[in-house]
Structure 1
Amino acid sequence: MALTVFALNGRFLKIADQLAEPAGLTATRWQVLGAVLNEPLTQAEIARRMGITRQSVQRTSTQLIEDGMIQFMPNPSHRKAMLLTPTEKGLEAIGKIGPQHANFANRLEIKLGKERMAELSEALTELQYALEVVDLQENEDPAS
């Protein structure tokens, strides 16, 4: 299962790079920018939600800030851990990805069928949750 997931991740990253390229993004930049579309987040929160290292988020967010696609804003909950939020330029970049992304999703839906896509999405969500639970239990006493 792990090897299949690794291969699937590689395929997703290749497709994401292709979809993001016309907007001047990479899959990694799209991932970080996409994480803050609905709400401002800290770099640590992005890393936890996306399952990537904080150092990777720091590097990528620095590049996105330099490119004018995201910006820092004050965090009322923590003085040092600033929140990241998209800029107008970042929202425009995401808007450029949308049509190609929708087209790709439609083609995939034709191949798999709407019901099967929903089942697969649900199964992947279930797998993600199970892995998180098992990972959290790793630090607990096995006898408990």
Structure 2
Amino acid sequence: MRATKRTPAGDALTEFILDLFRLNGLLLTAGDRLVARLGLTSARWQILGAIVAAERPQPVAWLARDLGANRQNVQRIVNDLEREGLVAFETNPHHRRAQLVILTDKGRQTYEAAGLLQAPWVNGLSQGLSVKEIEAAHRVIAALRQKLDGEDEPQA
């Protein structure tokens, strides 16, 4: 069996993906540190953000889909957030078992406090980068997400 060689673009993308993996770990660690005093982790903060970003209350499965995350992991974190009074469950008129997740006042205040911490942090992180560079990186990541979205397994 002959191994297929990567193209120059494939090599460059492989290096980019490896850097994204490393960056993801660093971002999660930095986010954990940033919001720890609020009783949050990066994962909890991300889920609160997904709830805020949704146009209307959604069930856990939809939040997980929007985040590109595992439903069981999101359910576990949402349950923790509910125990801490940051979210609540509401009856879903369209599905008896899939309750809707809503932000409580405490959850909204915590999310807003995290945003106040994030602004100076991200402003400092962006120093030395142009808006055009950031937008170009965003376009590449968005294009990769679009190509991978809905793909069950990597193509051989």
Give the TM-score range, shorter chain. 0.7 to 0.9
* Alignment of structure 1 residues 102-117 onto 2, 5 Å: 102-117=119-134
8 Å contact 1:32–1:57 — kept in the other structure?
A: yes
Structure 1 segments of 4+ aligned residues over 6 angstroms from their partners: none
Structure number with the bigger relative contact order (C-alpha 8 A, sep ≥ 6) is 1
Counterpart selection for 1:27 from 42, 55, 58: 42
Instruction: Please state if 1:82 is matched with 2:106.
Output: no
Counterpart AA for 2:122? A
**C-alpha distance in 2, partners of 1:19/1:123?**
27
8 Å contact 1:73–1:82 — kept in the other structure?
A: yes
* Alignment of structure 1 residues 7-46 onto 2, 5 Å: 7-39=22-54, 40-46=57-63
**Aligned Cα RMSD in Å?**
2.0
Deviations 1:47-92 (A, max 9, x none): 1111221111111011000000000112122121111011010111
Match of 1:64 in 2: 81
8 Å contact 1:42–1:84 — kept in the other structure?
A: yes
Q: Which moved more, 1:102-111 or 1:84-93?
A: 102-111
**C-alpha distance in 2, partners of 1:72/1:32?**
14
Match of 1:127 in 2: 144
Structure (1 or 2) with the larger CA radius of gyration = 2
Match of 2:7 in 1: none
**C-alpha distance in 2, partners of 1:100/1:38?**
18
**C-alpha distance in 2, partners of 1:31/1:90?**
12
**C-alpha distance in 2, partners of 1:119/1:104?**
21
Instruction: Please state if 1:50 is matched with 2:64.
Output: no
Give TM-score, length-normalised by structure 2. Answer: 0.80
Instruction: Please state if 1:91 is matched with 2:108.
Output: yes
Deviations 1:86-123 (A, max 9, x none): 10101111111112211122112222122211221222
- Which runs of 5 or more structure 2 residues have no equivalent in the other structure? 1-13
CA shift for structure 1 position 11: 1.3
